Amino acid sequence: MNALTHTDFHFEGQKSVYHGKVRDVYDINDELLVMVATDRISAFDVILPKGIPYKGQVLNQIAAKFLDATADIVPNWKIATPDPMVTVGVKCEGFRVEMIIRGYLTGSAWREYKAGCRSLCGVALPEGMKENQRFPEPIITPTTKAEAGHDENISKEEIIAQGIVSKEDYEQIEQYTRLLFQRGTEIAAQKGLILVDTKYEFGKRDGKIYLIDEIHTPDSSRYFYANGYEEKFAKGEPQRQLSKEFVRQWLIENGFMGKEGQQVPEMTDEYVNSVSDRYIELYEHIVGEPFAKASSEDIAARIEKNVKEFLASRK
């Protein structure tokens, strides 16, 4: 199966291109962004050596559906999805923080809690919690957006004191974060899933705050299956989950956590295809409809044609 791991397009009016860990973002006249969700996969801030077929399509289409399903809560950047792997939207000046919201104690938060930490990003954590336990109320644990390397945990107070985001804007995006998480939780529950934690990014254009980037995808969110959650929690067993965490766990089990001197384990075709299947499984669960695989014959040519036609139609 083919996977798209690199793009090098030249669109009319293109001013720059940014190659992120997963997305390639083309700036068109400082007005539009053409965001290509590639099939690259990253973990521990490292891009893994092989792409995952259909991963970009899964992420792009889930994000597009959730942007549409939350547009009544907060304006978002999306204008159109001219290709299964592409979203085109308005260019915003992104805030230099990611708004992470957690409904349950799991993942990196659990790892810190287990090591004795009782405060996360300035939020006090109750004593006596167990792995995968639900918080009394969802907690917001922001991180700074690093240009390179690891994002850093930061508190609301530090964000405002350092002038990273103004108090007024921060309180607005904090409110949006809670409302979006509530909506995502409700939609997940209808599909038999629990939205465990997720992240949102926001930006500003012409003085107005927009929700930007992807939302509620397996790369930016963690889902548990609701069926069996209580039983597994009571027994202290790992939860069945749909997120990228299964890739991180596989890497950890094979001696890789992104640290110096560590080698990424071999990604066999069998393993790559199993990851692809997991991404498609999450799509079908969270969206509630079968996943239609786009043609993978010449993915780059297909994207280029679709985006050029869309941009020409806006003239």
In a domain, 173, yes or no: yes
In a domain, 62, yes or no: yes
Same-domain status, 137 and 211: yes
The pLDDT tens digits of the residues spanning 206-224 come to: 999 999 999 999 889 999 9
Q: What is the mean pLDDT of the chain?
A: 95
Place of tokens 């159109």: 80
Give the CATH number for residue 82.
Answer: 3.30.200.20
Q: Is the pLDDT of residue 146 over 80?
A: no
Same-domain status, 105 and 80: no
What pLDDT, on a 0 to 100 scale, did the predictor assign at position 191? 94
**Band of residue 9 on the pLDDT scale cut at 50, 70, 90:** very high
Does residue 241 contact residue 197 with C-beta atoms inside 8 Å? no
In a domain, 248, yes or no: no
**Band of residue 126 on the pLDDT scale cut at 50, 70, 90:** very high
Torsions phi, psi of 63, nearest 5? -60, -45
The pLDDT tens digits of the residues spanning 95-106 come to: 999 999 999 999
Same-domain status, 186 and 164: yes
Closest by CA to 37, choosing from 202, 218, 183, is 218
Strands 46-47 and 42-43: antiparallel
For CA atoms 71, 189, 236, 264, the dihedral sign is: negative
In a domain, 21, yes or no: yes
In a domain, 201, yes or no: yes
What pLDDT, on a 0 to 100 scale, did the predictor assign at position 45? 86
Same-domain status, 307 and 192: no
Same-domain status, 200 and 161: yes
Domains in the chain, number: 2
Angle at 180 between CA 179 and CA 184, to 5 degrees: 120
Strands 123-124 and 241-243: unpaired
**Band of residue 243 on the pLDDT scale cut at 50, 70, 90:** confident
**Band of residue 30 on the pLDDT scale cut at 50, 70, 90:** very high
d(C-alpha 180, C-alpha 103), whole Å: 13
In a domain, 147, yes or no: yes
* For the chain, percent of residues with pLDDT exceeding 90: 89
In a domain, 249, yes or no: no
What pLDDT, on a 0 to 100 scale, did the predictor assign at position 245? 80
Same-domain status, 206 and 76: no
In a domain, 262, yes or no: no
Same-domain status, 214 and 277: no
Rounded (10°) angle between helices 55-69 and 167-190? 110
Which CA distances in Å does 226 have to 182, 188, 230, 285? 16, 9, 8, 12
**Domain extent for 182:** 94-243
Same-domain status, 167 and 223: yes
What pLDDT, on a 0 to 100 scale, did the predictor assign at position 295? 92
The pLDDT tens digits of the residues spanning 296-306 come to: 889 999 999 99
What pLDDT, on a 0 to 100 scale, did the predictor assign at position 282? 83
Q: Is the pLDDT of residue 148 over 60?
A: no
- 201 forms bridges with which residues in the sheet? 212
The pLDDT tens digits of the residues spanning 75-125 come to: 999 999 999 999 999 999 999 999 999 999 998 899 999 999 999 999 999
What pLDDT, on a 0 to 100 scale, did the predictor assign at position 147? 63
Same-domain status, 294 and 236: no
What pLDDT, on a 0 to 100 scale, did the predictor assign at position 145? 79
Same-domain status, 82 and 204: no
Same-domain status, 195 and 290: no
At 96, list the tokens: 């230099």
Give the CATH number for residue 209.
Answer: 3.30.470.20
Query: What average pLDDT does the segment 228-236 reach?
Result: 97
Same-domain status, 88 and 227: no
